[in-house]
Structure 1
Amino acid sequence: MALPSQKTELVGDTSLEKWESVGSGGFGHVYKARHKDWGFDVAIKILHEGVCSFNNYLPHSIPFTKLCDEANHMDKASCEFVLRRYGTYQGYPPGNKTSMQHGIVMEFMGRGSLQSLQEELSGPLPWPLAFRLAHQVALGMTFLHSKNLIHGDLKPSNVLLNMDLNAKLADFGLSRVSTSALNSNRETTEEIGGSYKYMPPEAFKASYEPVRAFDRYSYGILLWSILRGKEPYPMACCARVELRIPEGDRPCCEEIDKMKLKVDGLEELVDLMKKCWHESPFKRPTFQDSLKVTEKVFSKHEKGIHKAVLDVSTRLESPNSNQSSWASNVPLQTPEQSESNDTVDNKMILSQSSIQDSVSVSTKIMSDEDKAKFVDNNRAKLIQSVTEVMAVTEELGNMVHPEAYSCVEAKATTQDKMRVLYNRTFRSGGVVVKAAFYDTLKNHHPELVERPGG
């Protein structure tokens, strides 16, 4: 079955080369490929054969027309802050030579997503960059709502970044015409879009019909994630979130509140964040109102954006970043914090000097604290080097929460699996879990933890 005729062209296998898998999910798979005629890379989102998963909260089988809807929504919402669609795909991607596949050809965002950036840095972004991301997401959502569309799945993995760390909204698999704009022609649906941590309290009711207020709440939680550099409720399962969010629970703001008086504009953004996640859908500010706040806050820090982007990009690309855990120990923040971070820097340098150019250390006379420090200090290298991730995860047993285990298992690459372990298990499990992980490495990757002859 072919996609409906669109203003953009049909792209086939003869036009594509250098295929590379870059991600997967319940919906299907995303590839990077070079378009031979255009001369640049594109992203190709391919549906699982026949159906796709609607969301992580309530799995559904969705007819192929959902992909057609996504293509149409992308065309309707095309702007600077929304991912651009170049065409539709029809062909046989790598690994499938038996049946014709269909997909969407989109612009390729070289820095991945906000989620992957957070996982790489393991800490908050520099304030200018955090404020720009908050503003750019608000700009994209304002445009989307102006077209009477709702996103329905606003979260870090759907905020994509180009090489300059500018943001564009992606994944319109859940987008739909806003029911508040349909007047008498309202469509009833049992489908609840969005990942459960970003869903408003009213959305957990079976009779809920998504409206724009859904996105406004999700934006509030997303703002918290941008400011803190991590996912909310790291250890909470879906059932607990469903229970507690309608009771008024929200992400903890203690650390953010400590910084409000030190960072110009942060107090205004935090106030907006809390208004967005208000329990009443009618009291959440529109994105047009949100824009007034985000634009004002970003303008206070706009002069620092080039330095912030350069700092983050340099750390991501530097060879030294493969042998240190700079982000997990030293959050990227404003100059006001640099003095307090100097002590952490010195400790990290001392720790790293004992490892030299290798992640290897002697396994003799190591305490649990030493093992945990090794796991922290060599995060980037271990993410790159550990290949037996599922075997390691199995050996950790009950130390890995079932939800985290499912997330690890769902990732397509070993590096992505390891990132989930670090962010969902090691960060919250503390010394005991990290030490246990170190011990499993001796069984599956002894070369990573033992010096030759050690």
Structure 2
Amino acid sequence: DLPLDFWKKITNDFSDERKLDEGAFGIVYKGIMEDGEEIAVKKLGENSPVPRDKDFNNEVLNIMALKHENVVELVGYCHEAQKKVVQNNGRYIVADIVESLLCYEHLRKGSLKKNLFEVPDKMDWDTRFKIIKGICQGLLFLHGINIVHMDLKPENILLDDNTVPKIVDFGLSRLFGQEQTRMNTQNVVGSYGYIAPEYLYRGEISNKSDIFSLGLLILETTTGEKNCPSKEPSAEQFIKNVRKNWTDEHIMRQYSDYDKECLQQVKKCIEIGLECVEIERQKRPSIEKIVDKLNGGYSSAS
């Protein structure tokens, strides 16, 4: 738990030049320590429904205790009130404004989104398959300790120097607490284009909400085609196109240079991805079944 002034100093007072990313709950900045080490600092926005004071500190300490190869490590935080002059009903008043920050390891290779869609060199299949398996292992860990991520998408998967995927922002769903995550549809937490339909329309949350988003991640990583989240909240057209176009013949054409084993892996990932995005959540596989299938098992999806 470090003071706000420390975070201001290492991010050059949260300057635009240090901005790395902007998401649903805040902005991520690059922080540079005195010894030159780089870290990522997420400044939570005012719309982030995080608990206050002691509850926030307790939850962050719980999250900092989590260690897994495929989950980004949280290394510091700040939850500090500062007096600021703000406008209220036409008058200027002095109020306590709480700044909440989460700090985690900075992975210079960037997000899965960047590496899939924004760099000229196309990822080979072995790398894609390794990333898919790593994401699933990270989600298996989180679901095993009853954390529902609530915002799985390519921007929230970071890659280290060895292209090992790490889930980031896993803590926000935990921080919301059970009461706040069961919001009505006007206050849905998550990213447009990756939200499970039962959550979007009925406010229902379960591990299967993450499985829906995971399915889209798997389909994007396998096909190299981009889900267009600005058009549809639950990616109906993207799913329809994959279901229609990615036949066995299409897979063989797209991956014509690969051997039979690789083609089977591609086909399996398409099948798993489409099972994950079933409209009825009961039809979606558990993360345990997904990991088993990726490792060569043949469990039925349930």
Distance 1:72 1:216, change over 3 A: farther
Distance 1:18 1:281, change over 3 A: closer
Distance 1:68 1:230, change over 3 A: farther
1:131 to 2:129 alignment: yes
Aligned AA for 2:219? W
Aligned AA for 2:274? K
How many aligned positions are there?
Answer: 263
Alignment of 1:189-338 (within 5 A): 189-190=183-184, 191-205=187-201, 207-233=202-228, 237-238=231-232, 241=233, 245=236, 250-253=240-243, 254-255=245-246, 257=248, 258-259=250-251, 263-296=263-296
**Residue 109 of structure 2 contacts residue 159 of structure 2 at CA under 8 Å; is this kept in 1?**
yes
More strand by share: 2
Alignment of 1:75-154 (within 5 A): 75=64, 77-89=66-78, 101-121=99-119, 124-154=122-152
- Deviation of 1:279 after TM superposition, in Å, equals 2.2
1:43 to 2:37 alignment: no
- Deviation of 1:12 after TM superposition, in Å, equals 5.2
Aligned AA for 1:44? V
Task: String of CA shifts for 1:59-118, please: whole Å, max 9, x gaps.
Answer: xxx3564993873563354322111111113689xxxxxx77431121111111111212
More helix by share: 1
Task: String of CA shifts for 1:198-218, please: whole Å, max 9, x gaps.
Answer: 22232231x322100011111
RMSD (Å) for aligned C-alpha atoms: 3.7
How far apart, CA to CA, are the structure 1 residues paired with 2:180 and 2:227? 33
**SS of the residue 2:110 aligns to:** coil
TM-score for the superposition, normalised by structure 1: 0.50
**SS of the residue 1:175 aligns to:** helix
- Deviation of 1:124 after TM superposition, in Å, equals 5.0
Distance 1:248 1:100, change over 3 A: closer
Distance 1:152 1:123, change over 3 A: farther
**Residue 159 of structure 1 contacts residue 169 of structure 1 at CA under 8 Å; is this kept in 2?**
yes
**Residue 173 of structure 2 contacts residue 181 of structure 2 at CA under 8 Å; is this kept in 1?**
no
Structure index of larger Rg: 1
Q: Percent identity?
A: 24
How far apart, CA to CA, are the structure 1 residues paired with 2:190 and 2:173? 10
- Deviation of 1:125 after TM superposition, in Å, equals 2.1
How far apart, CA to CA, are the structure 2 residues paired with 1:30 and 1:249? 30
How far apart, CA to CA, are the structure 2 residues paired with 1:198 and 1:156? 10
**Residue 51 of structure 2 contacts residue 175 of structure 2 at CA under 8 Å; is this kept in 1?**
no
How far apart, CA to CA, are the structure 2 residues paired with 1:63 and 1:148? 18
**SS of the residue 1:78 aligns to:** coil
TM-score for the superposition, normalised by structure 2: 0.73
**SS of the residue 1:125 aligns to:** coil
**SS of the residue 1:149 aligns to:** coil
**Structure 2 unaligned runs (5+)?**
13-17, 82-96, 253-259, 298-302
How far apart, CA to CA, are the structure 2 residues paired with 1:248 and 1:259? 17
Distance 1:255 1:186, change over 3 A: closer
Task: String of CA shifts for 1:179-227, please: whole Å, max 9, x gaps.
Answer: 9xx8xx998432433223222232231x322100011111111101111
How far apart, CA to CA, are the structure 1 residues paired with 2:151 and 2:191? 6
- Deviation of 1:134 after TM superposition, in Å, equals 0.2
**Structure 1 unaligned runs (5+)?**
1-8, 55-61, 93-98, 298-454
